[in-house]
Amino acid sequence: MSDSKILVEMQGVKQHFTVKKSRGQKATLYAVDGVDLTIEQGETFGLVGESGCGKSTLGKTLLRLYPLTAGKIIFDGKDISTLKGKELTQFRCQAQMIFQDPSSCLNPRRKIRDILLEPYRIHNLYTSQEREEKVLELCDMVGLSHIYLDRYPHEMSGGQKQRVGIARSLALHPKLIICDEPVSALDVSIQAQVINLLQDLQEKLDLTYLFISHNLSVVEHCCRRIGVMYLGHIVELAPAGTLCQHPLHPYTQALLSAVPTIGESPREKVVLTGDLPSPVSPPSGCPFHTRCPYASEVCRIQRPEFAEAAPGHWVACHQVKQFS
């Protein structure tokens, strides 16, 4: 067991939404359905899975952008599950988010200087002169030339706009930054620059990252531990090297088999049949059994326990011993 301080602890977190169906009927969408998770101070924790599995919703729930349906979130030793008003505002100084598409999260009608000044204005921090100095410091931290401060977002490249998003997330000196697919909208050549920048900032500022992505190659490179999410559940969690070399859950094996390899023996392809079930009507038992090549009767009727199969390696699967 690591002696590192636990910064984030999620206990049975659920995030359900009420959605409208045809003819005015309503249904429940089970976006996140019982997640237990810890993130240590100073680590980069990776969260991977297909589109629609609940990764981004879990990140936004951690930031309390949505009220919890059930469960508890402990941040830096304090229960933030029910915070409201001033206390919630104070918490958000300590936890920030870098969004996937920099073009859609920057106000197109405001110059970059105004965008970076906004956090200080909202929280009424520093004098006008100090705010200007802080903005210049943010630009220097993320490698953004000061000439861009008087430009609008549409006058910048995707990589430059993402640097603005990173700078904005650093303005209030947070402890935790949720990186929601921060490089997926960028060119491959720019992705490496942004990832290296995030790693340098983590080392300098003692930041903790929750790194959300569908790209296992990127996550393996920059994360210490990885959680695999499927249909609102964490189905496997392990150190990055262990998970990528010895995956236990068939869903993780399928994800890894789809990753291109160069100079290595290709993995045996695991082809999943069927489509991802709807989170409005998830299957009974194991949520993965409708696509799993190893599913048995017990998988169809009983949800597997999320258990430690090896030291630090957790998995939710009835059939682990069969194919591990």
Of 2, 49, 63, 6, nearest in space to 208 by CA: 6
Phi/psi of residue 105, each to 5°? -110, 0
Most confident of 200-204, 214-218, 292-296: 200-204
235 has a pLDDT exceeding 50: yes
Q: Where are the alpha helices (DSSP H) in the chain?
A: 55-62, 85-91, 102-105, 112-122, 128-142, 158-170, 188-205, 216-222, 240-245, 250-257, 297-301, 320-323
Name all contacts of 25-29 with Cβ < 8 Å and 24+ positions apart.
27/280, 27/281, 28/280, 29/279, 29/280
DSSP 159: H
Give the chain's count of helices (H) and strands (E).
Answer: 12, 12
* Confidence label for 52 from pLDDT (cuts 50, 70 and 90): confident
253 has a pLDDT exceeding 50: yes
What's the pLDDT score for residue 40? 96
Check residues 218 and 224 and name the one with the higher pLDDT: 224
pLDDT (mean) for 317-321: 83
Whether residue 287 contacts residue 230, with contact meaning beta carbons closer than 8 Å, is answered with: yes
In order of their start, the domains of the chain are 6-94+174-323 (3.40.50.300)
Whether residue 98 contacts residue 178, with contact meaning beta carbons closer than 8 Å, is answered with: yes
Separation between Cα atoms, residue 254 and residue 317, nearest integer Å: 14
Mean pLDDT of the chain: 91
22 has a pLDDT exceeding 80: no
What's the pLDDT score for residue 217? 84
Q: Is 33 helix (H, G, I), strand (E, B) or coil?
A: strand
Helix 128-142 to helix 112-122 angle, to the nearest 10 degrees? Answer: 120
Question: What confidence tens digit (pLDDT) does each residue in 104-119 have?
Answer: 889 999 999 999 999 9
* Confidence label for 1 from pLDDT (cuts 50, 70 and 90): very low
What's the pLDDT score for residue 87? 93
* Confidence label for 51 from pLDDT (cuts 50, 70 and 90): confident
261 has a pLDDT exceeding 70: no
Check residues 214 and 127 and name the one with the higher pLDDT: 127
